[in-house]
Amino acid sequence: MITLYTSSSCSSCRKAKKWLDINKIPYKEKNIIGIKLTRNDIINMLKYSENGFEDIISTRSKVFKESEIEPDSMKFSELANFIIDNPTILKRPIIINDQIMQTGYNKDEIRAFIPRELRNISLCTDECTDCEYKERVENALARAKSS
């Protein structure tokens, strides 16, 4: 299942949600402003990152600039607590499944979240009436929703 960390004021978050909805890919949304992030959320974000906190912290955020924190000199627990207390420091959206993480919305890279069994076939739309792949697509989507 895809987890999508968002905020309601984020246009990239709205684009990511729209893309997932259009492509009928199920996801669980976590609005970082509406919920309190947990240490497990932070660990989940970092699990597939290549550069650790650097991949999820927005150095352009107002919170980052005003706090003058030095992430490289902080312990994991200190930085995780800072993010939990100041979730707007995170890049958005953060999109995670059981294999990859993506920050921000990129219309080409987000295709990595299409379930593997659908990547090599065309995604059908509701208007599709004579498509040899339609049944395969519907079956794959049903499997993806149930997992």
Q: What is the pLDDT of residues 33-87, one digit of tens each?
A: 999 999 999 999 999 999 999 999 999 999 998 998 899 899 999 999 999 999 9
The one catalytic residue in 10, 13, 128, 131 is 10
**Domain map (residue ranges) of the chain:** 2-113, 115-147
The whole-model pTM stands at: 0.78
Architecture of the CATH domain 2-113: 3-Layer(aba) Sandwich (3.40)
Give yes or no for residue 116 having a pLDDT over 50: yes
The DSSP string of 66-90 is HHT--GGGS-HHHHHHHHHH-GGGB
Distance (Å, whole) CA 23 – CA 144: 12
| Residues ≥6 apart with Cβ < 8 Å to 89 | 57, 58, 61, 63, 64, 82, 83
What value does the mean pLDDT take over residues 12-40?
94
Q: What is the pLDDT of residues 90-110, one digit of tens each?
A: 999 999 998 899 999 998 899
- Decide if 124 is catalytic: no
